[in-house]
Structure 1
Amino acid sequence: MTATTPHPMKRRGARKLAINQLRQSEHLDEARIDAFLSRHEAPIVEGPKCTFLWRGEADEVWVTHRIVNQPQRVPMKRLPGLSLWWVTIELPEGSRVEYQLEIRRGEHYEHTNDPLNPHVAHSPVGSSSVCQAVGYRTPPWAQHDPEARPGEMHDIHLHSKALRRQTTSRVYLPARYRDSTAYPLLIVHDGDDYLNFAAMKTVLDNRIHTLDMAETIVVFTNPGDRLREYPNYAAHARHLSAELIPHLAQQLPLVDRPEARALMGASFGAVASLSVAYRNPDLVGSLLLQSGSFVFTDIGDEHEGGPAFDPVVKFMNRYRDQPRRVADRMFISCGVYEPLIVHNRSMVPVFESTGTTVRYVEARDGHSWENWRDRLGDGLSWVFPGPQKFVYE
């Protein structure tokens, strides 16, 4: 753009941001702020500009988020003499960002969701407000479709000698399930979290209903000590391969071939899926790995993940040093706003070097359950395509 070229926003005759119109109002007072807030939902999204708002008395206020390589505490400004605080952040099209507000009153700091924003995301560790930038839409497959016949859920309890504990899993049977039909099997790590925070049953119902995914039996497993059992833990791999899958095969009509079995998980659950396949190379044909905690080091063993990542780093370093094919196909997704994006990008060519077919997807999102939910439709349909594309005989 040259010095004489009008700015694109000016060429289109763009209006001033709503917050700037308010700031330049005559006789600005609390009543005018009341009217302003009644007309706008926070954050106010105007093209790439997202204006965050908070109203109240405080000494300082910040927007806090986890976008990698960006300041994660963005100070808000106060309208002089009034109760409204604001800051405008530019976000690329299609972005979805979870955030909270940090409020300081004297020596007291409060972290809270945005009271002006109705969009809230939930996770096992709490909730966050959500900024949906221009171009972001919740995928239709993640929303309830009254025409989609629902699958059935059943609990199974199995005592694991390998893990030395009782296990509880949820079994999803597709809507048209028949004992006389053999089905592929998908095992999901952190199963209850996928059900509670990633709408996975809804996604399964919808994708199977539209024939974008094969009718599949899905088992939602749950960990005991997650940080111990998931990073390349021999007992966990033995539980899946020698206890759970054989038990399921006795109880349910499953296709008994590796290409009809898949493992999936997010974060540490992705590491668990990869490591189980690594220890049992003929067990599954596909892996669905979301925001895998694939932390490794190129020199030495020092890393910034803390002690919980020590076994992960040891496993990933060994795998990178001597990669081998553990599945025929991998669907890998990661958010560009999370620190793990570097590790996931780096692992794709390593997996491909083994002859594995890899589909890799990035999103303008973070390390969150709704990010993983939004990638499920494509991932599930790619791992087990609908009957018009793939038939188990």
Structure 2
Amino acid sequence: MKTVGIVVEYNPLHNGHVLHYRKSKEVSGADAVVAVMSGPFLQRGEPAIASKRARAEMALAMGVDLCLELPVTYAVQPAEWFAFGAVAILEATGVVDCLSFGSESGTLEQILPLSRSLANESGELRAEIEKRLREGMNFPSAYGAAAAALFGESGPAAAELQELLTQPNNSLGLHYLIALQRLGSRIMPYTIPRVSAQYHDPLPGTSSIASATAIRNMILSQGLEAARPYMPEFTHDIMEREIQSGLAPVHWEQFRQPLFQALLTHTPDQLESFLEVTEGLEHRVQRSLSQLEQPTVDALLEALKTKRYTRTKLQRMLLHIMLNHDKASMNREELAKGPGYIRVLGFSETGRTLLKQMKRSASLPVIHQPARLEHPQLERDLAAAAVYANGQPRPQIRNYYSDYLLPPLTP
């Protein structure tokens, strides 16, 4: 049985995701699909609009056969470590033959050879990145410019490659390919071109495909029915149930109190110990807090944002502070060790067959219930799930412990 892996957030699952799912099976010729999905908090440093369980249910309804959780240790990270964690899980299953991801370019022609050049990150690359950061670039732009420069291109070719790498899905795709190289993986990569809406588009287009950002904006400002044309019916039904149950929609402002408490009760030296608090940001945070007109997360992010510090980087920083993610335990050396387990969120009948195969092929423990394993990454997952449940519109005590109480989803 040929199996394709995909890396997803489904925040929420929409028509563009359905197209990617179908095209992934088509181009790879796969019989089964394994999805590695972020849990309650996402790569851009945001809470998911619906719980990981609801989003895993959407994935299974679409046709995904096995849905696995990307630990929060990797889910809330820049592209390099987000990609590495996800690809490492797919590799560790021992059953995934290929990887499919979306990109603006729709081709591997430029980024595949680049990934081979960048797989062994050199001191020279870090120096080139740092040089551009000092010039005022944000990290994604600095990385793209440094990679283009070191790839040996010059003139228009370098500019073209740099422009290509500023597009978020191309950049993330490059890091998937770098992860495959670093892991020595035999997984075959494919890329599917994005159509209609782009990653950050805040408004829907004229087709039935809108970005997840636009769909979330519609749900939060106009209600679920406004977003209905852009999502499959099963997503609408699951979201409707979650909203009626007081479990969704979830957004940053619902975490204002625990976040502000963490910011107000830590000294600058203590804040500096958290992940992504860099270059004196601990002082900028405290100055910005004292100057706010309204104590909202959005107001704080606007006060903190500069050309150098993107909203995404700042959101991740605030999330790491709120979740108590410190630099000492989540440094590059620790992250390079990879995920410590494979966490099952849900599976189909075909997925059940894959899980049986994984008893022989998996290189990491496969867990259905967290009580069966002790691991610092898992402890962070459990804490993140509880914090997320506390931020739902109508918090329910049992949801704080749902990771312990609920088995993986099945048909």
Larger relative strand fraction: 1
Structure with bigger RCO (C-alpha 8 Å, 6+ apart) = 2
State TM-score, norm by structure 2. 0.23
Larger relative helix fraction: 2
Which structure has the bigger radius of gyration?
Answer: 1
